[in-house]
Amino acid sequence: MTRVRQWLAEARRLVVLTGAGVSAESGVPTFRDAMTGLWAQFSPEELATEVAFRTHPQRVWDWYQQRRTALRSVHPNAGHRALADYALRYPGRMTLVTQNVDDLHQRAGQPHTLALHGDLASDRWLDEPRSCCLTQPPLAGRPPRCPVCANLRRPAVVWFGEALPTDLLARAERAATECHLMLVVGTSGVVYPAAGLARRASAGGARVVIVNPEETALDDIADACLRAASAHCLPRLLEPAPADTMD
């Protein structure tokens, strides 16, 4: 911990990559862990693809509405808040990239989060919107639809088989290439292209620090592994040193 805190003090550019483990510490079930009750009969791939939505739009919409409802009672934890506080103390130094879609980083006070996999609380049009989609309010339904062309509203998340948003991924890759230190927090490191950001940072000469109570697929490139939950580790790791200044 002392060595990593020294690396943080030396790093002029920091990237933090977060995954499902950070949200799980707030009580958010991971995607697969949420397949319970009525939804236990389905695999995630049956609910989180464009084909599934076009085939059974109401089923998929209801699944995401259930997830949205569950998130209303969830709050950012100490790890989320520690990252937001650090960003406030050092404007422009840290780029936060997340694979999570729950907006807990944003609610903790991190408005410039690069949410690679989208935003569960938002919708977008399934097909390219026509002028009617942009001028007519959607009809209420499960899911809502355009009253003229019947285009459907869908969750604004990245489904299996879909590409990540080009602009966000490019910004994340650029930050990983230019950073001096990357913290990889609460992710198993098996989901690409997000996991590739850590390898990109390492190849560029940055130090890589894993914060995770479990082993990960990125441990082989790590300069240090902190085997602890993020809500416990990040407040200690990122707390101001006695001589900290607002530089």
Rounded-to-integer distance, Cα 163 and Cα 169, Å: 10
188-229, pLDDT tens digit by residue?
A: 999 999 999 999 999 999 999 999 999 999 999 999 999 999
Q: CA torsion 44→49→52→54, rounded to 10°?
A: 160
Mean pLDDT value across residues 29-47: 72
Environment class of 47 (CB within 10 Å of its CB; exposed 0-12, middle 13-18, buried 19+): buried
Share of the chain above pLDDT 70, in %: 94
* Whole-model pTM over 0.85: yes
Q: Given this structure, which CATH class describes domain 2-28+74-117+164-238?
A: alpha beta
Residue from 75, 117, 180, 232 carrying the catalytic annotation: 117
Backbone angles phi, psi at 98, to 5 degrees: -130, 145
The domain ranges of the chain are 2-28+74-117+164-238, 33-71, 122-157
232 a catalytic residue = no
201-211, pLDDT tens digit by residue?
A: 999 999 999 99
Rounded-to-integer distance, Cα 106 and Cα 113, Å: 7
